[in-house]
Amino acid sequence: MRNTLRRILLSSLALVLIVPGCLRPQGERFGKYMVVGTFTDDAQQDKCKANAEAVLTRHPDINCLVGLWAYNPPALLQAVKEAGKLGQVHIVAFDENEETLQGIKDGHIVGTVVQDPYNFGYQSMRILAATLRKEDPQLPDDRIVYIPHRVITQENVEEFHKQLRELKERVPGPPKGDVPQRLFLAFISNNPHEFWTICERGVQQAAQDFNIQYEFHRPARGTPEEQRSILETLLARGVQGVAISPVDAANQAQFFDAIAAKIPLIAADSDLPSGSKRLCYVGTNNVEAGRAAGQLVRKVLPEGGKVAIFVGRLDVQNAIERRRGVLEALSEP
């Protein structure tokens, strides 16, 4: 009961720290850590860098910057370098951007929490294909398919980077035995960044394995309007199933439910609200992944310090949950 109340309080406190692209003079304390704010950038890397520059100027005693989307850490690293604060301001990252991994090797980034976007793509297509063919998609009772995350630091970054390069260069192998009639499926990301290249590799292999004609769409601006337009066009063209990383899921719940009433719809990477008619969620346990990022902050700042959080949007469920996980970890005794 105590833990439940504590988490509710944390979620309530977190709401006052959302700073849409601007700065607040005050912050909020979580355990030994002062979080000066959460800074959003509409999935624009240059805007993230500008936010970081403003934080470094407004808070010259800032100790750590945390980037929750894949392009955030490279932008934070560039801002810290240009401010001449490498080694003074720590960076904790999310995902496996090439610049992030190099920053870990160089000792400029503490570590990164990486997901498995390859399996986001592969498993989403596998489940859609099985469902449409009236086969068992092997879903858990709660229809949540968690793909494990990993923490990458200097100790394991070389090995991980090697595996990642091999994955990016992988050519889809031959199909697995006999495959039935071809299906038309699609995957829609929530932004155009590099993270989704790895996801598309998984979709490509699933397309080969399960005889799928696929399209992979990356909205250039990462807006709800773009996603709606793509989905409506796909429906008009006869798409049979879609996996999507939804933007502004709470305000589009009725729209997504209407889609799910027509074709199987999977929420990938970021979930839809509770009670959604989506087939399932495929992706990371984002609260736990956020906690892993928070533990990296605690590791590099064991006595506490001043922290800023950066993310593309806070109308996306994965951002909300990762941020919550970070704050929970920082609040631990």
Alpha helix ranges (H) inside the chain: 2-14, 45-58, 72-82, 98-105, 117-132, 157-169, 195-210, 224-236, 253-260, 286-300, 317-331
Question: CA torsion sign, 68 to 70 to 75 to 77?
Answer: positive
Residues of the chain with pLDDT under 50: 1-18, 22-25
Contact 245, 251 (CB under 8 A): no
Looking at residue 69, its pLDDT comes to 96
Looking at residue 194, its pLDDT comes to 87
Cα distances (angstroms) measured from residue 169 to each of 87, 198, 252: 34, 10, 36
Cα distances (angstroms) measured from residue 254 to each of 188, 249, 273: 18, 9, 10
Q: Is 34 exposed, middle or buried (0-12, 13-18, 19+ CB in 10 A)?
A: buried
Three-state SS string over 71-88 comes to CHHHHHHHHHHHCCCCCC
For residue 40, the cross-strand partners are 311
Please, what are the domains in the chain? 2-114+286-331 (3.90.190), 117-283 (3.40.50.2300)
Cα distances (angstroms) measured from residue 32 to each of 38, 69, 308, 311, 329: 18, 25, 14, 22, 11
Distance, CA of 16 to CA of 141 (rounded, Å): 35
Distance, CA of 124 to CA of 206 (rounded, Å): 9
Model pTM greater than 0.85? yes
User: For 195-232, how does the pLDDT look when each residue is reduced to its tens digit (9 = 90+)?
Assistant: 999 999 999 999 999 999 999 999 999 999 999 999 99
Number of separate helices (H) and strands (E) present in the chain: 11, 14
User: For 42-92, how does the pLDDT look when each residue is reduced to its tens digit (9 = 90+)?
Assistant: 999 999 999 999 999 999 999 999 999 999 999 999 999 999 999 999 999
Q: Is 148 exposed, middle or buried (0-12, 13-18, 19+ CB in 10 A)?
A: exposed
